[in-house]
Amino acid sequence: MPYKSLKDMLSTPPAASSGDDIDEDLSNHVLLPEDDVLSTKYSVKRILDSMDALGIAEQPHNLLKHLEKSIGFEGVETFDTDQIQSLLPVEVVNTWNLPILSLTCITIAIPNIDKDVVDNLLKSVNKGIYFTTVVEKSLNKASEYVKIQRATTNLWCEVIKNPKWLDTTLRRSAYQGKAPTDIIKSLAHAAEDIVTEFNRGTNGEPLEKEKLPWKVIAAHSMYRIAQTILHRYESNNLEIIEDELFSRLSAMIADILKTCLTNIPRVIMMKCHESAIEKREDSVEVAVCLFVRSNEIKGVFGMG
């Protein structure tokens, strides 16, 4: 099962996390410099002041509104299916960010959706990626996960700047007059071509998943997700309607984001207890930043 590891992670929120954890006074965990020149409270104040000056403490309202679209964790189970044959001979591990971004790319390419609605989706995903990236880097440090995290970062930069997915445009004007099915198929075919060309270049030599190029990893995700969407509609003899598809994919994105964000309390406590002296102050700064920016998100999970 290509994405089994992701589903296992997403469907099992860490038992060690709780609403009480995130409310703990973080000042107790700030590293005191060896000469004790700075007090603990001053260290926290300096961090908070620097975040405030950068606007980091601004609450993620777009993200909060988007998370309200999630009514459960269905999207975690339905974004991929075993019934889609993998294009790669090796199992590729997954992260939270990659399916979020693959789904987002498909969603924003749908024409005839109000521009403000699409812009709000992009803003909410952009905010969400701040949190999911911190979670992923904290909990998934194995080399194979690091490669996918880098792939996601590269992919997201292209989506925001251009917008495009690898070499395929996501500008809605390019898809005017096309049916949603054709849009999804075009992204699936573009992804399939990338993986097929890579497979051809290996000349049948054994592959190591740790050495897969990031573009192949991104294409693998897009292909499977696009084909899964088509499969679910076709197997149920359902017509793909633009508004309904946009809403369905937006809800799936919200489901995956929400499930990933249940790890925030755990990550905050991990950051506060960083054992390496040389990393501790930076680690606590990340923890305080997470605490401030996720304060309102607690309400989404009943932590407030």
Q: Helix 264-272 to helix 277-293 angle, to the nearest 10 degrees? A: 150
Confidence (pLDDT) at 103 = 95
Most distant CA atoms of the chain, gap in Å: 70
SS (H, E, C) 242-276: HHHHHHHHHHHHHHHHHHHHCCHHHHHHHHHCCCC
Spatial neighbors of 5 by CB under 8 A, at least 6 apart, are 93, 94
Radius of gyration of the chain (CA): 21
pLDDT of residue 60: 62
> Could you give the residue ranges of the DSSP H alpha helices within 109-241?
115-139, 143-161, 180-201, 214-235
User: What is the CB neighbour count within 10 angstroms for residue 296?
Assistant: 14
What pLDDT sits at residue 274?
61
The residue type found at 145 is: Y
DSSP, collapsed to helix, strand or coil, labels residue 162 as coil
Q: Report yes or no: 10 and 96 within 8 Å, Cβ to Cβ.
A: yes
Report the DSSP beta bridge partners of residue 162. Answer: none
Q: Would you give the DSSP letter of residue 73?
A: S
Please say whether the beta carbons of 227 and 187 come within 8 A.
no
Residue 168 phi, psi dihedral angles, 5° rounding: -100, 125
In DSSP terms, 169 is beta-bridged to 164
Give percent helix, percent strand, percent coil of the chain, each to the nearest 5: 65, 0, 35
168 forms beta bridges with 165
Task: Please give the model's pTM, rounded to 2 decimal places.
Answer: 0.75
Residue 173 is encoded by which pair of tokens? 């004007």
Cα–Cα distance for residue pair 171/157, rounded to 1 Å: 15
pLDDT of residue 251: 92
- Sketch the domain layout of the chain as residue ranges: 61-261
Averaged in consecutive runs of 10 residues, what is the pLDDT profile of the chain (304 residues)? 47 39 37 37 45 48 79 78 85 86 95 92 88 84 80 86 90 91 95 93 76 89 94 83 92 90 77 61 60 55 49
Instruction: Find all residues with CB under 8 Å of 68, minimum gap 6, and list them.
Output: 254, 300
